[in-house]
A and B are shown apart, each in its own frame.
Chain A
Amino acid sequence: MKPFARFSPGDATSYVQVAPLAVIFALFLVVPIATIIVVSFWDYDEFRILPDFIWDNYLYLLTSKVTLATYVNTVKYAALVWALTFSIGFTVAYFLAFHVRTQTWQIVLFVLCTIPFWTSNIIRMISWIPFLGRNGLLNSTLVHLGVVDEPLEFLLFSDFAVVLAFVHLYTLFMVVPIFNSMMRIDRSLIEAAVDAGASGWQVIRNVILPLTKPGIGIGSIFVVTLVMGDFITVRLMSGGQSSSVGIAMSNEIALLQYPAAAANAVVLLIVVLLMVAAMLRVVDVRKEL
């Protein structure tokens, strides 16, 4: 007999308690990724995929010049889109957080930012086409006003169009976490900085920017992972003229080269994880969670 025995739930109870989340993770994260990894080692011909264990898919992928070119192009998009969404996102969030005085207006303007999200990504991209096209709204206006003699060709089906669409799609993913970080900054810190002689820019540079880092980190993870994995935006907005890792995979799938696509996916996953790890080294996101 144990005089000091206390009630303690058995080990089984704890396992039951974590089971639902474990099952969800297993079914929707571990199993799919494991499947992709397994398939990436399989063989294939024109019609079938053949269970096997070969390194050919990876060897081909890692030695091909096309792979390097697609990665360079994709990283270029990610870098450009990150720089633009960060600049715009920070500015918008700064305006909302520090220059809009009343909470009502903050909410109104914030909702205004989210309105584009009420339509689907595809619709939002496609709606650029009549605007940017050779005979589109913008070009005809410019020609009409005499700003240019010839319609501008770079506006649509170009890297410009791709980056523009990405920025349009993903800026809000930057705005929201940065705004959230900014709203947590104690306003007396700004006053203390002003009291210490900081100018407007110095306040942003020395107080707001460092304290907004976790939000910037979260926004950057969203934007970079979304751009790295995208294929539809690049295909639609470049008119099929530019490549990305996503497009390469989508092409391989179209040709039923599932093992090659799987190997590509695994490599992309590793690259993106490394990029996220690098960002997390710079920024401690946990402060925000």
Chain B
Amino acid sequence: MAEALSPRGTIEIVSVTKRFGDTVAVDSINLKIPAGSYCCLLGPSGCGKTTTLRMIAGHERVSEGDVIFGNQNVTDLPPTRRGTAMMFQSYALFPHLDCTENVAFSLKMRGAKKEERVKRARELLDMVDMEPYARRLPSQLSGGQQQRVALARALITNPDVLLLDEPLSALDPFLRTRMRAELKRLQKELGISFVHVTHSQEEAMALADLVVIMNEGRIEQAGPARTVFNRPRTPFVARFIGGHNVLSGIVEGRTDDAVVLKGANGVRFLVDAETVRQGDRVSFSVRCDRVAVAREGTGAASHPYDNFNRVRGVMRSVEYQGSWVRLGMESPDSDDFVMAVNEAAYFADPIAVGERVNASWGAGEAHILADQ
């Protein structure tokens, strides 16, 4: 019965810390990745995401804490005995071996017979559509092809967990989107867990069932992509995931279901209720695409939140993005308050740089952020 509760492929990281000399790369993190899920470790460079992945793989020793797979504590096991396979950032294909030999490498190490491992390697190459290139050397392949071979090599041992270290970063943007879809399809088909390290929030949101945002060796937030995007927990997450404005104010009082904050120049904000004390300075986030923008002195009177949830400022930038327009405003509350406006709506009545504008949002669009 215990097997059923924690099936193979579940990864649990318990108070794991990694130190390199005096520097703490990963600071006592806890994380549970359910079996068969696509998990993205997301963060800026140096946030500890790759170190975490390498500790899961067993290529890096854990300084403190435990790594548990299913019911087994694998903290001190070597990489091969963990049932994981890793796909390296630069693919790390063996330059002296052709695609078949590269894919069959781990079978060779296990002493499998030549016909058997060639047969199996061809099957895997076929799965990633690389069968016609079976006899080529890695140097004769494009980046995308090398990646497919690396994928086949990692999957030949039927791992419970596939670990991917920035697998798409070496590809051009077009190929990246295509390979992304293919990774997701493969993960669904195989039904195993993928743990994917990336610094691209776009990639993480497109792929992950579980997005884990890391910063300075800690996990800032872990959850489904939509939750992370709609309810960023900290200012860091809100800024890193993009599409949010981070503002702050001082707690003035509360209504039935919201807290009233006082911003710069006497502006008031209503944010969703949390346990905050009177007089505290708190941060909150507002999604850029949930903000309405209007010229100063127009359309304001009819707005139900005339004196609330409103930021006044001067338009500083207008960037055309295709389906939407990115407007930047300088205001006392924020140096760069960003508004994402529908392209058609903007060009119906374009606001020029230098005009005085105000940005407002409805009730329930502002969410309070934790300090840490």
The answer to whether A193 has its CB under 8 Å from any CB of chain B is yes
The answer to whether B108 has its CB under 8 Å from any CB of chain A is yes
Cα distance A273–B109 when bound, in Å? 38
Supposing A195-B79, A196-B153 touch, asked if A188 and B109 sit within 8 A by C-beta, the answer is no
Binds A, one of B11-19, B88-96, B236-244: B88-96
The answer to whether B178 has its CB under 8 Å from any CB of chain A is no
Supposing A192-B86, A194-B59, A196-B153 touch, asked if A206 and B105 sit within 8 A by C-beta, the answer is yes
Main secondary structure of the interface of B (DSSP, over half): loop
Q: How many Å from the CB of A239 to the closest CB on chain B? A: 46
Is there an interface contact between A197 and B90, defined as CB atoms closer than 8 Å? no
The answer to whether B80 has its CB under 8 Å from any CB of chain A is yes
Is there an interface contact between B85 and A195, defined as CB atoms closer than 8 Å? yes
From A186, A195, A206, A211, give the contact of B80 (CB < 8 A): A195
Cα distance A210–B86 when bound, in Å? 23
The answer to whether A191 has its CB under 8 Å from any CB of chain B is yes
Which A residues are in CB contact (< 8 Å) with B93? 192
Is there an interface contact between B85 and A188, defined as CB atoms closer than 8 Å? no
Main secondary structure of the interface of A (DSSP, over half): helix
Cα distance A195–B88 when bound, in Å? 10
Which B residues are in CB contact (< 8 Å) with A199? 109
Is there an interface contact between A193 and B59, defined as CB atoms closer than 8 Å? no
From A189, A197, A210, give the contact of B109 (CB < 8 A): A197
Is there an interface contact between B94 and A207, defined as CB atoms closer than 8 Å? yes
Is there an interface contact between A195 and B59, defined as CB atoms closer than 8 Å? yes
Cα distance A189–B90 when bound, in Å? 10
Supposing A189-B94, A211-B96 touch, asked if A194 and B79 sit within 8 A by C-beta, the answer is yes
Is there an interface contact between A198 and B109, defined as CB atoms closer than 8 Å? yes
Is there an interface contact between B94 and A195, defined as CB atoms closer than 8 Å? no
Q: In the complex, how many residues of chain A place their beta carbon closer than 8 angstroms to a beta carbon of chain B? A: 17
Which A residues are in CB contact (< 8 Å) with B86? 191-192, 195
From A188, A191, A196, give the contact of B106 (CB < 8 A): A196
Cα distance A7–B80 when bound, in Å? 63
Cα distance A159–B157 when bound, in Å? 52
CB<8 Å pairs between A and B, sample of 27: A188-B88, A188-B92, A189-B92, A191-B86, A192-B88, A192-B92, A192-B93, A192-B94, A192-B153, A193-B94, A194-B80, A195-B59, A195-B86, A196-B80, A196-B85, A196-B105, A196-B106, A197-B109, A197-B110, A198-B105, A198-B106, A198-B109, A199-B109, A206-B108, A206-B109, A207-B94, A211-B95
- CB-based closest 9 A-B pairs: A196-B106, A192-B92, A197-B80, A188-B92, A197-B109, A210-B96, A198-B109, A195-B86, A188-B88
Residues of chain A having any CB pair with chain B under 8 Å = 186, 188-189, 191-199, 202, 206-207, 210-211
Known: A188-B88, A191-B59, A191-B92. 13 other contacts (CB 8 A): A186-B90, A189-B95, A191-B88, A193-B94, A193-B105, A193-B109, A194-B78, A196-B85, A197-B80, A197-B106, A197-B157, A206-B105, A211-B96
